Chain A
C-alpha cells in the first residue's frame, strides 16, 4: 500500500472537491459564504487528516497493552 502517497491523493481529491464547490455553489448573494465555508472546511479537515496520517506513518513507539490479567503478565 502506497501509504506515503495518501496525502497527495488526498490533495487531489481536495482540489477536485474545491473546484466542484467553487462552481456548484448556489448563486445569489450568499455565494461567497457558500464557497468560502465549504472550501475552508475541506482544507481544514484535509490538513488535520493528513497530519494524523503522517504522524503514524513511521511511528517511533508501539502500543503496550494495559489491564492484562496477572497470569499473562510477563516480566519485561
Chain B
C-alpha cells in the first residue's frame, strides 16, 4: 500500500528507519545516501566526544588534505591565477570513490611539498635580490659620500687632533691639503648600510647621544621603494654612511644600526675597487633575476595545473569529510561487523533508498544485503516540505516564524496567494505593479546567471524572493486596476457612472457637481471620475476602510477554519468543541455581524427609501454600551435590529465561559477516567519504583534520554526494541497548568478578535498613503514640467521625467514596497497564523551533499 502523495498542504509522512550496513561498504552506502539527500541521521553516539569516535583518523586526514587545498588556493590568489569555476565541470556532483580520495590525498601531499619548496627557494632568491639591490644602492651613494668626505678629511683630522685650533686656520692651510690622503691612515673607520626611512631620525638621535657627537654621518634617500619579499610590502629606505674615529666606536655604531633594523654592507673606500664591486653586483643581479624568472614560471605552471582541478578536489574532499562525519553517528556492532544507523526519511522515499542500497551492494559484490527496517516510535518525526523554486521563498517566510508541527496544515500554501495579495491591497497601482513584475521577470529570466554570481546582501534577499515579487507584481496590477490608479492617474476603462452637471439637464444647475447615470454602476473597480475631484478622499476613505475590514474578516475566518481542519486531522474533538466552535461564534457574532452590516448598507438604496443611513461605527458602539437600544430608534438599519443585536451579544458572551472551561474540564475528566481504569503514565510508575531502586537508576529511567546509552549496548538483539521507554511524550497531567493555559488562550483570543480586526485597518492606511504619495510626486514634478513650452520645455521635460521616474522606483516601489511587504508579513505572522498555527515541530535536516555544497559553496 503506497502512502498518500506528499504535498505542500501537510509535511511529508516520515518514518524512522534503521539500517544495518556491512562494515566494508559503510562509506559507499553513506556517500550514495548523501547524493540522494533524503535521510536525517540521528546521532547514536551523542555521549562520546568527537575524538573518541570511530572515524576520527579519516576525518583528520581529510582535514589535512583540505588545509593543503586551501593552501593551493591562497597561493593561487597570491599569484593571480584563476581557478576553473565549479560550474565548468561536466558533473561536479559525482560520488567519490575511495581510490579517488586516496589519489587526491597523495597528489595534494606531493604538490604541497613541491609548491612549498618552490616557494621557499623563490623567497630566498627574492631576499638575495633585495640584498643585492640594496648593496648596489649603497655602493652608488657611497661614492658620492667618499668624495665629499675626502674634501673634509682635513677638518675632521684637525678637530680630532687639537681642540683649541683657531677657527680660521683651515682657511690658511687649505691649499696644501693632501687630496689623496686615505682615511685609514688617519684611523678613521666607517659603516655603510641601508635603513628604513621612518627610523632615520631615531637612528641619528641615538647615535649622537651614545657617541656624544663623535661621528660624521651622511645619508641619502633611495628614490625607489624596496619590496620586502616576505610580506610583499613596499618600504622606503635611506642609504647612510657614518665615519668615526676608533675601532670601539665603529663597533658600537654597528651594534646600534643592527639593532635598529639597518642592513650593513661592505664598501671599499678605494674608488677602483668600488667600481669592480658594482660591476660584480650587477652581474649577480642579472643571474639572479633569470633564475627568479624560471622559478616563478615553474611555480605558476604548477599552480595553473592545480587550478584546473582544484574545485573538483575541494568538492570531493568536502563530500568525503561529510560522509565520515555521518559515519561517526552510527553505532558499530563488533560481533556482527555491521554498522547500525538510525535515520528519519520520508516514507515515500523508502523505495528509492532501498533500490539505491541494492545498487551499492551489487556494485560492491557483497552477499550480505543492507537491511532497512522501519521502527515504530513515539518520537515526533521531523517536519519536511519538499519545496521548489516557486514555493521555497513562501515556505521560508513561514519557517522564519516557527517550525511547523509534523503533519499540521502548512500556512505557506495559502500564503502563496494571500501574502502578495494583502501586499497588493496596500500597493495598489497598476504602473508600480508593472515595474515590480518586470523586475521579477528579469530576475527569473537571468536566474541561473544570478545564482552563480556573488550578490550583495540586499539584492540577494530580493533575488531570493523573486517569485514573491512576481506574485506581488501581478496582484498589484490587479488592485491598481481596481483602485483605478496608474502612476496616480486614472484608467478610464469603461463609461463612467457620473456625468458632470452642465445645467442643461432639468433639475440641476450648472456647476462642479455631477449626477449619476441612472441604473448604471461602474462595472470594474473604482469609477475614474473620482480622480481629481474635491471629495475623492471622502469617498475612497470610506471605501478603503470598509474594504480592509471585510478583507480582514475574510482572512481571519479563513485562518480560523484551518484550526478546524487541524483538529479533525489530529482527531481531537475537544479542540473543535472547546476552542473552534465557541471561538468562531464569538468572532462571527461581533465582527461577522459588522461585515454583514457593511455589505447590507451598501446594498440598500437609501436615497430611494428617503432615509438617512445609520452610522455603522456608532451602531457597534451602541451595541456594546446600550444593548437593546439603537442610536436612532426611528431609523434602524433593518427591522428588528435591536433584538438581533442583543441575541448576538448574548451568544458572544455565552461563548466565553465555554471557551474558558470546556477543554480543561474535559481533559481532567478523560484523565480521571483513565486513572480509574488503572492506566498510569510511564513516568509515574517509574517514579514509584525508583523509591526501591537506587536513585541513579531511577533517574536514567525517568529522564527523557533513556535511549542514550545505545551505542555502548553490546547486544545487537536488544537494539531492535530500543525504542520503547522513550518517555518524552508522557507528560504529567497537571490540571492547573492546563487551566492557566486555557485562561490565557481565552483572554488572548477575545482581545485579539478586536485588536486584529483593527490591525487590518493598516491595509486602508497604507493604500491611502501610497496613493497620496504618488499623487504628490506627480504634482511636484511632472505637472510643473507640462507648464513649460518650446525647446526649454522639452529639455526640462526630459530631465524632470527622469527625476520623476527615479523617485517612483526608489521611493514608491522600493521604500513603499518594503513597508507594505513588512505589514503584509505581520498580518500573516500575527493576525492569521495565531488563529491556527501550532508550531513546535522539529526541522528535517537531511544528510545531503547538495545542501552541503549550497551552504559552503566552492568558489
Contacts and interface: CB of A to CB of B under 8 A. Distances in A.
Interface in B470-517: 475, 478-479, 482, 497-498, 500, 509-516
Nearest to A40: B417
Contact of A76 (B388, B511, B527, B603): B511
B118 interface: no
A59 B539 contact: yes
Contacts of B413: 32-33, 36
Interface in B411-437: 413-414, 416-418, 421, 425
B533 interface: yes
B516 A47 contact: no
Contact of B512 (A6, A45, A49, A68): A68
A57 B602 CA distance: 7
Contacts of B613: 60
A40 to B, nearest CB: 4
Contacts of B414: 36, 40
B606 A60 contact: yes
B513 A64 contact: yes
Contact of B533 (A49, A53, A65): A65
Interface in A34-58: 36-37, 40-41, 44-45, 47-49, 51-58
Q: Which of B414, B511, B521, B604 has the most CB of A within 10 A?
A: B521
A74 B497 contact: no
A51 B534 CA distance: 23
Interface in B388-412: 388, 390-391
| Interface size range of chain B in the complex | 35 or more
Contact of A63 (B5, B509, B511, B530): B530
Nearest to B6: A29
Interface in B594-626: 599, 602-607, 613
Nearest to B388: A30
Interface stretch (B108-116, B238-246, B371-379, B546-554): B546-554
B827 to A, nearest CB: 13
A68 B515 CA distance: 17
A62 B498 contact: yes
Contact of B547 (A44, A51, A66, A73): A51
A9 B6 CA distance: 36
A32 B7 contact: yes
Contacts of B500: 65
Interface in B527-583: 527, 529-530, 532-536, 538-539, 542-543, 546-547, 550-551, 554
B509 A74 contact: yes
B602 A54 contact: yes
Contact of B554 (A47, A58, A61, A62): A47
Interface range, A side: 35 or more
A72 B604 CA distance: 35
Given A29-B6, A33-B416, A58-B604, A51 B511 contact: no
A58 B519 contact: no
28 contacts: A1-B519, A1-B521, A6-B521, A32-B9, A36-B8, A36-B416, A41-B417, A47-B554, A48-B547, A49-B525, A52-B547, A53-B524, A54-B599, A55-B546, A55-B547, A56-B497, A56-B521, A58-B602, A58-B605, A59-B539, A60-B606, A61-B535, A61-B538, A65-B514, A67-B532, A68-B512, A74-B512, A76-B511
Query: Which 7 A-B pairs have CB atoms at the shortest separation, nearest pair first?
Result: A40-B417, A65-B512, A32-B7, A63-B533, A3-B521, A54-B602, A64-B534
Given A33-B390, A62-B515, 12 more contacts: A1-B521, A29-B5, A36-B413, A36-B416, A44-B418, A48-B478, A52-B482, A56-B521, A58-B603, A61-B538, A66-B534, A73-B512
Interface of B: 5-9, 386, 388, 390-391, 413-414, 416-418, 421, 425, 475, 478-479, 482, 497-498, 500, 509-516, 519-527, 529-530, 532-536, 538-539, 542-543, 546-547, 550-551, 554, 599, 602-607, 613
Interface of A: 1, 3-4, 6, 29-33, 36-37, 40-41, 44-45, 47-49, 51-68, 72-74, 76
